[in-house]
């Protein structure tokens, strides 16, 4: 996110992660396989050079040639099969058939000056030599894992930020970050730890800014195995059939979870209960798709109808410090499931182990998180579509969930150029997947910033912390 200070993209995102003009003032389809981007005039790079379509072409030509890039952009440029400069402020991109998500992809690609050349190294970006951008700041110095020092770019084409000089520090430890704020060593911190919220709230001069994030915390339930590996009867004997393949069982497990209690007691308010994978205000959010209610009695009834009046035993795994209070969340869920007759063994593991077990579907129930980037198709395509390696569908759907209607609606959306029609298709797909309990959504994490002094911060759903969003209170 530090690069946001020095470089721009053709397409920017607002605080809710909706697309807005950046270096491109507008974009539209001129044919099914051709997008035209009209570029902003009067923009200068930090070295004084004019920004033109030549810089865009040079950026896209360089991406596939970067060896061992610490932040590869190729996944976001591969939708553009070729490009053509029409004039200095117009560029066209060819796609392989209808590809409506090109602007979304381009919102991830920083445009660099053609003057840096194709062979510039990562080291030259780190030492500042190659940091020639059109962003609101210019790089002064960079110390890896410590800090970035920057100065305002007074030739910036957009609104000038309040701050002339900015020091951006990297403080990974929660306690150290909070202590730095309380000691006036820094003026703004992000990722405020929930346990420290009461102390910070009682500190004079400290204020907060928050927004539901794009990160959904949810459960995956194994429907791939005929006999799920960590499910037994109450005597410890393997079950011949996998109960998670029964919709009634999946519904029961969801209804047995008190999401509001988790938000209030475990997350200490730093989350929002959800019944879907998109937060309020984001593209693809379904307003009437509410979080499932806490209804243990109905959960017991559904289990009995499915043939499990006495429940069964299940293993629930999750990471221990990947997401906010993740280990505590699975402990709470385990206790809730116990109350409806599901004997639950809970295991919190390092995320590296979780990732390995997920990739080979060595689980029955798993807590995991997913950040959508503001585009609803990513959640559907990766998590809910039937796994298809050739098409790139279901890339993280290791649990074996499959629903033909989810697949049909999502595929149709991916072929639909009209923004409103595409969003409606994705909303329908999300509704079908959630009603079928393809996953068990729990909550959207909140992004919380704490500020010291007369400052305000425009909270961002994408978790970015940028100096441009910090303003003096009027």
- Cα–Cα distance between 79 and 460 in angstroms, integer? 27
What does the pLDDT average to over 160-165? 96
Is the residue at 461 inside a domain?
no
The residue range of the domain holding 68 is 2-170
Q: How many Å separate Cα 196 from the centre of its chain?
A: 24
Say if residue 113 is in the same domain as residue 239. no
pLDDT digits (tens, 9 = 90+) for 224-268: 999 999 999 999 999 999 999 999 999 999 999 999 999 999 999
pLDDT digits (tens, 9 = 90+) for 383-423: 999 999 888 899 899 999 999 999 999 999 999 999 999 99
- Of 115, 138, 170, the last residue of a domain is 170
Q: What pLDDT is stored for residue 237 in this prediction?
A: 96
User: How many domains does one find in the chain?
Assistant: 2
Least-confidence region, from 14-18, 67-71, 413-417: 67-71
Which CATH number is 218's domain given? 3.10.105.10
Is the residue at 14 inside a domain?
yes
Say if residue 225 is in the same domain as residue 164. no
Say if residue 158 is in the same domain as residue 222. no
Which CATH number is 49's domain given? 3.40.190.10
Q: What pLDDT is stored for residue 121 in this prediction?
A: 75
Q: What pLDDT is stored for residue 35 in this prediction?
A: 98
Say if residue 84 is in the same domain as residue 224. no
Could you tell me if 135 and 157 are in contact, meaning their C-beta atoms sit under 8 angstroms apart?
A: no
* Whether residue 68 has pLDDT greater than 80: no
Is the residue at 192 inside a domain?
no
Greatest Cα pair distance, the chain, in angstroms, is 75
Say if residue 282 is in the same domain as residue 133. no
- Of 136, 170, 204, the last residue of a domain is 170
- Cα–Cα distance between 462 and 374 in angstroms, integer? 8
**In the structure, what pLDDT confidence band is assigned to residue 172 with cuts at 50, 70 and 90?**
confident
Is the residue at 237 inside a domain?
yes
Whole-structure pTM value: 0.87
Is the residue at 265 inside a domain?
yes
Q: Which of 30, 38, 34 is nearest to 11 (CA)?
A: 38
Is the residue at 195 inside a domain?
no
- Cα–Cα distance between 211 and 203 in angstroms, integer? 21
- For 21, 54, 79, 156, 374, the CA distances from 11, given in Å and listed in that order, are 5, 17, 15, 16, 13
**Structure tokens given for 211:** 């927004």
Complete DSSP assignment for 110-135? EE--GGG-TT--HHHHHTSTT---SS
Say if residue 254 is in the same domain as residue 143. no
Say if residue 262 is in the same domain as residue 317. yes
The mean pLDDT of the chain is: 94
Say if residue 157 is in the same domain as residue 255. no
- Cα–Cα distance between 165 and 16 in angstroms, integer? 27
Say if residue 78 is in the same domain as residue 219. no
List, in sequence order, every beta strand (DSSP E) within 334-461. 342-349, 365-371, 440-452, 455-457
Say if residue 232 is in the same domain as residue 161. no
Is the residue at 284 inside a domain?
yes
Q: Which of 193, 186, 183, 155 is nearest to 170 (CA)?
A: 186
What value does the CA radius of gyration of the chain take, rounded to a whole number of Å?
24
- Cα–Cα distance between 339 and 343 in angstroms, integer? 9
Is the residue at 62 inside a domain?
yes
Say if residue 97 is in the same domain as residue 223. no
- For 198, 235, 259, 295, the CA distances from 300, given in Å and listed in that order, are 37, 19, 17, 9
* Whether residue 72 has pLDDT greater than 70: no
224-261 as b/e: b if 16+ CB within 10 A: bbeebebbbeeeeeeeeebbbbbebbbbbbbbbbbbee
pLDDT digits (tens, 9 = 90+) for 297-307: 999 999 999 99
Say if residue 386 is in the same domain as residue 259. yes
């Amino acid at each position: 996110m530090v690069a946001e200070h020095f470089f721009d993209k053709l397409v920017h995102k607002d605080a809710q992660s909706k697309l807005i003009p950046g270096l491109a003032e507008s974009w539209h389809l001129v044919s099914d396989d051709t997008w035209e981007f009209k570029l902003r005039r009067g923009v200068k790079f930090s070295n004084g050079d004019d920004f033109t379509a030549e810089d865009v072409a040079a950026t896209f030509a360089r991406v596939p040639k970067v060896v061992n890039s610490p932040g590869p952009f190729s996944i976001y440029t591969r939708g553009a099969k070729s490009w053509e400069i029409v004039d200095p402020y117009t560029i066209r991109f060819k796609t392989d058939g209808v590809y409506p998500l090109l602007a979304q992809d381009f919102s991830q690609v920083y445009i660099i000056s053609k003057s840096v050349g194709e062979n510039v190294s990562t080291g030259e970006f780190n030492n500042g030599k190659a940091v020639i951008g059109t962003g609101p700041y210019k790089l002064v110095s960079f110390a890896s894992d410590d800090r970035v020092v920057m100065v305002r770019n007074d030739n910036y084409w957009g609104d000038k930020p309040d701050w002339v000089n900015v020091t951006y520090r990297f403080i990974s430890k929660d306690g150290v970050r909070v202590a730095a704020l309380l000691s006036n060593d820094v003026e703004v911190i992000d990722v405020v730890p929930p346990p420290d919220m009461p102390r910070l709230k009682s500190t004079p001069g400290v204020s907060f800014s928050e927004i539901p994030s794009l990160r959904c915390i949810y459960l995956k339930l194994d429907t791939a195995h005929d006999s799920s590996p960590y499910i037994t009867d109450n005597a410890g004997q393997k079950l011949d059939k996998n109960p998670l393949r029964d919709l009634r069982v999946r519904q029961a497990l969801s209804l047995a979870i008190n999401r509001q209690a988790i938000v209030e007691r475990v997350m200490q308010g730093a989350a929002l209960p959800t019944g879907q994978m998109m937060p309020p205000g984001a593209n693809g959010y379904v307003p009437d798709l509410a979080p499932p209610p806490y209804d243990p009695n109905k959960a017991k009834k559904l289990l009995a109808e499915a043939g499990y009046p006495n429940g069964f035993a299940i293993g629930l795994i999750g990471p221990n410090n990947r997401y906010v209070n993740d280990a505590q969340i699975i402990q709470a869920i385990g206790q809730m499931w116990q109350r409806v007759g599901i004997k639950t063994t809970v295991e919190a593991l390092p995320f590296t182990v979780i990732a390995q077990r997920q990739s080979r579907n060595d689980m029955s129930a798993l807590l995991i998180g997913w950040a959508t980037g503001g585009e609803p198709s990513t959640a559907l395509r990766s998590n809910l579509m039937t796994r298809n390696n050739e098409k790139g569908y279901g890339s993280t759907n290791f649990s074996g969930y499959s629903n033909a209607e989810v697949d049909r609606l999502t595929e149709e959306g991916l072929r639909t150029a009209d923004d409103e029609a595409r969003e409606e298709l994705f909303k329908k797909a999300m509704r079908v997947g959630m009603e079928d309990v393809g996953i068990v959504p729990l909550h959207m994490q909140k992004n919380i910033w704490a500020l010291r002094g007369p400052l305000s911060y425009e909270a961002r759903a994408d978790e970015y912390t940028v100096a441009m969003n910090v303003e003096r209170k009027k």
